[in-house]
Amino acid sequence: GYSSPMRRAGGMPHVVGMVQVGLRSVGSARLADIEAARAYGSRFVTAREIHAEGAEAALRHIPKGARVVVTLDCDSLDPSIMPGVAARTPGGLTYTEVIDLIAGLGRRARIAGFDLVELYPPADIDGLSALTAARLLVNAFGAIVRQD
C-alpha cells in the first residue's frame, strides 16, 4: 500500500523510530501494517491531535538532540491550502501547524534531511499548492540554518 515506503524505512538498522503526523485515516494500510509499524517504533499523531494540542502532540515523541529526516507529505495538509495532491482528504494540517512543527523540530532535534513529496501539480488550483509548498520549504531551510 501507500505506507510501504515507511515500512521499509522502519526496518533499516539506522532508523530507531518514526513519528507519523497528520493522519486522518489508515488509508491503504491493513491492521497488520499498523501493528508492524508500532512494533518497529512508529508513533502515530493524528491531525485531530495536532488541531487540539498543537505541535507538542508530535514533538514530545522526538528525543531531544536526535538526528531526524523529515518527509513532508503534501497529502497531510488540508486541501483548502494544498489541493494539488492525488487524494484530497478534509481535516488536514493547517499551514501554521506545519510551520510550528518544523520550527519546533529545528529547536528540539537536528534536521539531517528534508524532503517534500506527493505534490501533484495537475490537481493544483491557481498555483496554491505550489505556493504553499515553496513557503513550507523556505521555513524548513530557515529551521535548518538556525540549528546549532
> What does the pLDDT read at residue 52?
98
> What does the pLDDT read at residue 145?
95
**Higher-confidence position of 126 and 1:** 126
44 φ, ψ (degrees, to nearest 5) = -110, 130
Q: Is CATH 3.40.50.720 what the domain over 4-145 is classified as, yes or no?
A: no
For 118, the 3-state DSSP assignment is coil
Query: Where are the strands (E) in 9-124, listed by range?
Result: 18-23, 42-46, 67-73, 110-117
Question: What are the pLDDT digits (tens) for 31-90?
Answer: 887 787 788 778 999 999 999 999 999 999 999 999 999 999 999 999 999 999 998 999
Q: Which residue has the cell 513529496?
A: 117
Average pLDDT of the residues of the chain? 90
Mean pLDDT across 9-31: 77
Domain boundaries, the chain: 4-145
> What does the pLDDT read at residue 105?
96
> What does the pLDDT read at residue 88?
92
Radius of gyration for the alpha carbons in the chain, expressed in angstroms and rounded: 15
> What does the pLDDT read at residue 4?
62
Compute CA distances 34 → 12, 59, 60, 142, whole Å: 17, 21, 21, 33
